[in-house]
Structure 1
Amino acid sequence: MWAAQLVAPSTFAHVSVPAPLAAALAPGEVLLRVRAGAICGSDMPLFKGAIQRQGGLGNHPDGAPPGVGCPMHEVVGEVVASRHPGFAPGVTAVGWALGQDAIAELCVTEGDSLVPDDGRLTPPEAVVVQPLACVIYAVERMGDVAGRRVAVLGQGPIGVLFSHVLAARGARVVGVDRVDRSAAAPGFGFDFVHASCDRWVESLAPADRPDVVVESIGHQVGTLACAIEAAAPGGLVYYFGVPDDMVYPVPMHTLFRKDLTLRAGTTKDRPRVLRAAQDYLREHPAILDAYVTHRVPMSRVQEAYDLAAAPRAGQLKVVVEAA
């Protein structure tokens, strides 16, 4: 089968490798023919050559080089074979490729991290269900946000989904980003601040401090400290995403004196939140056109990742689609 493989930092090669065998599936596994995938921020460290640490996505041990088809876990695919009771051959499924190996014709994943596609959307649209499910799960863990001031640090592909879901639940949302996201603000329901996080924090008056701060930038440690500094006393700081570093320095004195709560965590109860994301897109179909800004053929995967690695105004989700 065809696949892409990282052969150097930020450098893919096209390779031909043996296809996974249906007979080799373990109980609960599903073999997918990939129809579309989307690039997540958590793919970027591996793409750029970082070592995957304990707690990352997929099943690779610490320090292992990226495997064939890596790194991509947001996937829509047709079921070729299944040892999961919820999926039969011919069904289209959406969710997680747990091996992060979806830049390929075929990949194997767990059926418990998928749901059947409802057929309303094209594969490049349906793949949005996976990141939206992660956001919905995180927002559920924040409790009732109606009427609360919420700041979302980072208004890239994940940040704008947080803003939309939080605004739909009645929060007053401000989004902060170094990249000019002003064009996205009206459609995703946030007031935009074009600034670095540290300069935005310095500008905050006490009455403007948010009750909830979502750190959706990741990939360095400094913005977590900004989120803690920004939060109002008694507030919540939610660190979203897979951490790149094993240890993050936290301004513990500020966390203590402000009586803050710091939360993080992976997405659980995946079938339920995937279905919730499908329902959300039925209710808010207009966000899809604004959200998926780039569709690139799988054969040009290098171009797709180069785009995703360089955030810019007017660019949100980059999706790759099979021929």
Structure 2
Amino acid sequence: MTELPATTLGVVAHGAGDLRVEHMPLVPAGTDEAVVEIAYGGICGSDLHYWQHGAAGESILRAPMLLGHEVVGRVLVPAADGTGPGAGTAVAVHPATPGPGNGTRYPLDRPNLSPGCTYLGSAARFPHTDGAFARYVNLPARMLRVLPEELPLRRAALVEPAAVAWHAVSRAGDVRGKRILVVGSGPIGALITAVLRTRGAGEIITTDRHEGPLAIARTLGADRSLPATEADAIAGVDADICFESSGSYRGLMSAVTGATRGGRVVMVGLLPSGEQPALISLAITRELELVGSFRFNDEIDEVIAALADGSLQADAVLTHEFAVEDTLAAFETARDASRSGKVLLRFGD
């Protein structure tokens, strides 16, 4: 029987500007939970917001919360009820738990829209849903996805954000041969570019405020790139499909102006809550289709297969790796979009 420690090292947000790497108790796993030894965790924009602002949109920290939902590792102790993968299996994690919540209607084939859905490392509800930025975590066996032997764990750390990108591209419809504009070339925008190349897109044009992310996007398949400040050039792209992945109203404006008449704009970046400026009159007169994209569903399985067989090339997104003991330096690096893509925390030796 595996001997587990009494505590585990985790990354906990206590409030705005208060991020701590601390020992926390490792409680006994539930019968349907496996103990997973985390190898890598990717720092997401929501993790940065909890650290910097004590909130991610309308999800406000009301108590200390373990961060992290982009994690991979190996099963240390399988679930006692016999479900899920066995000990030693390399796994990625699907961090969502769909639920009916208050009973508000939603399409049953799109559980990402269920009103009671919870997500690892989210303060959307109270008590908060702890994340998985820890050396050892108890996770429901149903969240675990077995990784092929040929997929290295470090590369597999991209599975969750790549699934977000995969879902977004699916929301765009058929992209084969189309001219595409991707606004914002951070990790999600860069991964959208990689997925678009996999899906047979025609010309891919990317924008960003910084040259570093644009260089990554070109490595992943962008045909050309434009500085986000060149409004006239962006408006002249005349794209069949635009992806807004910057999470800013200016980015949404760029996507609307860069779209061709009758085109589609897929809104991926999460704008701040409340009213936002938008070029709605232009969207109306051009008959643009504005489509939302939120998280993902079973696309995670397709992403794992594509990363394993090499059809999805995304390694260029991974720019930095830090030991968990250096978490503060990792977060400082991740928030500097001019010099970082996806920043990983390493929890193992």
What is the TM-score of this pair, normalised by structure 2?
0.78
Q: Distance in 2 between matches of 1:120 and 1:301?
A: 29
Q: Distance in 1 between matches of 2:337 and 2:296?
A: 28
Q: Distance in 2 between matches of 1:50 and 1:12?
A: 10
What is the TM-score of this pair, normalised by structure 1?
0.84
Q: Distance in 1 between matches of 2:139 and 2:290?
A: 31
Identity %: 25
Number of matched pairs = 305
* C-alpha displacement of 1:303: 1.1
- Which of 302, 307, 311 is the matching residue for 2:337? 311
- Name the stretch that deviates more: 85-94 or 298-307: 85-94
| Residues 213, 231 of structure 1: 8 Å contact kept | yes
- Which of 99, 102, 118 is the matching residue for 2:120? 99
- Name the stretch that deviates more: 283-292 or 111-120: 283-292
| Residues 45, 244 of structure 1: 8 Å contact kept | no
Q: Given the superposition, is the C-alpha separation of residues 16 and 266 from structure 1 closer, same or farther in structure 2, using an over 3 Å criterion?
A: same
Q: Distance in 2 between matches of 1:282 and 1:6?
A: 33
SS in 1 for 2:319: strand
Q: Distance in 1 between matches of 2:205 and 2:44?
A: 22
Q: Distance in 2 between matches of 1:176 and 1:15?
A: 39
Q: Given the superposition, is the C-alpha separation of residues 65 and 166 from structure 1 closer, same or farther in structure 2, using an over 3 Å criterion?
A: same
- Which of 236, 255, 262 is the matching residue for 1:234? 262
Q: Given the superposition, is the C-alpha separation of residues 130 and 185 from structure 1 closer, same or farther in structure 2, using an over 3 Å criterion?
A: closer
Q: Match of 2:220, as an amino acid? A: F
- Which of 141, 153, 176 is the matching residue for 2:183? 153
- Name the stretch that deviates more: 293-302 or 276-285: 276-285
Q: Distance in 2 between matches of 1:232 and 1:66?
A: 46
Q: Which residue of 1 aligns with 2:273?
A: 245
Does residue 175 of the first structure (1) align with residue 200 of the second (2)?
no
Q: Match of 1:77, as an amino acid? A: G
* C-alpha displacement of 1:7: 3.8
Q: Given the superposition, is the C-alpha separation of residues 3 and 156 from structure 1 closer, same or farther in structure 2, using an over 3 Å criterion?
A: same
Does residue 46 of the first structure (1) align with residue 50 of the second (2)?
yes
Q: Distance in 1 between matches of 2:262 and 2:297?
A: 28
Q: Which residue of 1 aligns with 2:85?
A: 87
Q: Distance in 1 between matches of 2:315 and 2:256?
A: 34
SS in 1 for 2:12: strand
Q: Distance in 2 between matches of 1:309 and 1:205?
A: 28
Deviations 1:144-166 (CA, angstroms, capped at 9, x unpaired): 11111101011121111111211
- Which of 14, 17, 27 is the matching residue for 1:20? 27
* C-alpha displacement of 1:284: 2.9
| Residues 15, 64 of structure 2: 8 Å contact kept | no
* C-alpha displacement of 1:53: 4.4
SS in 1 for 2:230: helix
Matches for 1:99-248 after TM superposition, within 5 Å: 99-100=120-121, 101-171=131-201, 172-181=203-212, 182-196=214-228, 199-204=229-234, 208-218=237-247, 220-248=248-276
Q: Match of 2:66, as an amino acid? A: G
Q: Given the superposition, is the C-alpha separation of residues 262 and 311 from structure 1 closer, same or farther in structure 2, using an over 3 Å criterion?
A: same
- Which of 40, 58, 63 is the matching residue for 1:36? 40
Structure 2 runs not aligned, ≥5 long: 1-7, 96-118, 122-130
- Which of 293, 317, 323 is the matching residue for 1:265? 293
Q: Given the superposition, is the C-alpha separation of residues 289 and 224 from structure 1 closer, same or farther in structure 2, using an over 3 Å criterion?
A: closer
SS in 2 for 1:48: helix
Q: Which residue of 1 aligns with 2:60?
A: 63
Q: Distance in 2 between matches of 1:152 and 1:261?
A: 16
SS in 2 for 1:280: helix
Q: Distance in 2 between matches of 1:16 and 1:43?
A: 19
Q: Distance in 1 between matches of 2:291 and 2:312?
A: 31
Q: Distance in 1 between matches of 2:293 and 2:311?
A: 28
CA RMSD in angstroms, aligned pairs only: 2.5
| Residues 266, 293 of structure 2: 8 Å contact kept | no
* C-alpha displacement of 1:104: 1.4
Structure 1 runs not aligned, ≥5 long: 55-61
| Residues 70, 161 of structure 2: 8 Å contact kept | yes
Q: Distance in 2 between matches of 1:260 and 1:117?
A: 39
Q: Distance in 1 between matches of 2:60 and 2:215?
A: 40
| Residues 15, 50 of structure 2: 8 Å contact kept | no
* C-alpha displacement of 1:189: 1.1
